[in-house]
A and B are shown apart, each in its own frame.
Chain A
Amino acid sequence: KQEVTQIPAALSVPEGENLVLNCSFTDSAIYNLQWFRQDPGKGLTSLLLIQSSQREQTSGRLNASLDKSSGRSTLYIAASQPGDSATYLCAVETGANSKLTFGKGITLSVRP
């Protein structure tokens, strides 16, 4: 059974800092890995999707890497801003029918 872990559960950083969010998964047989952002009481916004054959994806200040063999992914946020404050969820797709297994998320607070 696939399990996705995100540690720590919460992180607080000063504005402008570069930071790395970690995600690990137990079963390396994945189709893809996705990072989402969730604001309080809201749905999910997809940030980056990395296919199993890819090593990384970039979008603006965000860069996500994938090391499938070791079951790890990182989300790098450059020059963090208060508007980046949210919960970041990692999810992997395994098996048929597009099933996603989510981590519990990392709640990020960027202090002005």
Chain B
Amino acid sequence: GAVVSQHPSWVICKSGTSVKIECRSLDFQATTMFWYRQFPKQSLMLMATSNEGSKATYEQGVEKDKFLINHASLTLSTLTVTSAHPEDSSFYICSASAGASTDTQYFGPGTRLTVL
């Protein structure tokens, strides 16, 4: 089956620093990748949708200058949390879709970010 990986699986950083999270589709080409954030006991909230080679589309309320998304190839998307603050501490999950708008999304294992 389709596999999506994330790196790192967890990261701890100091307030004010930037953190980059990678999302890779290992055995298929992902035309579209999605980034979600999940707070404890809460549902996954879509942050942004990215299509290979074009700018990401951010959901309402998500700061595009704070959460930089790059989808430079069909197998890699990155999320950079810039100038991280403790309130950015969360579980970040990516998913990838091979193509059409109704294609199945395959989810990565998630990245736990803790900002001190």
Contact = CB atoms under 8 A, between A and B. Distances in A.
B110 A97 contact: no
A42 B42 CA distance: 14
Interface size class on chain B is 20 to 34
A21 interface: no
Which of B91, B103, B105 is the most central at the interface, judged by chain A CB atoms within 10 Å of its CB? B105
Contacts of B95: 44
A45 B95 CA distance: 11
A7 to B, nearest CB: 13
A69 B98 CA distance: 30
Contact of B46 (A4, A42, A99, A103): A99
Contact of A97 (B41, B49, B93, B107): B49
Consensus secondary structure, chain B interface: strand
B110 A98 contact: no
B112 interface: yes
Contacts of A47: none
Contacts of A89: 43-44
Which of B43, B45, B101, B104 is the most central at the interface, judged by chain A CB atoms within 10 Å of its CB? B43
Nearest to A10: B41
Interface of A: 4, 9, 31-32, 36, 41-46, 49, 89, 91, 93, 96-105
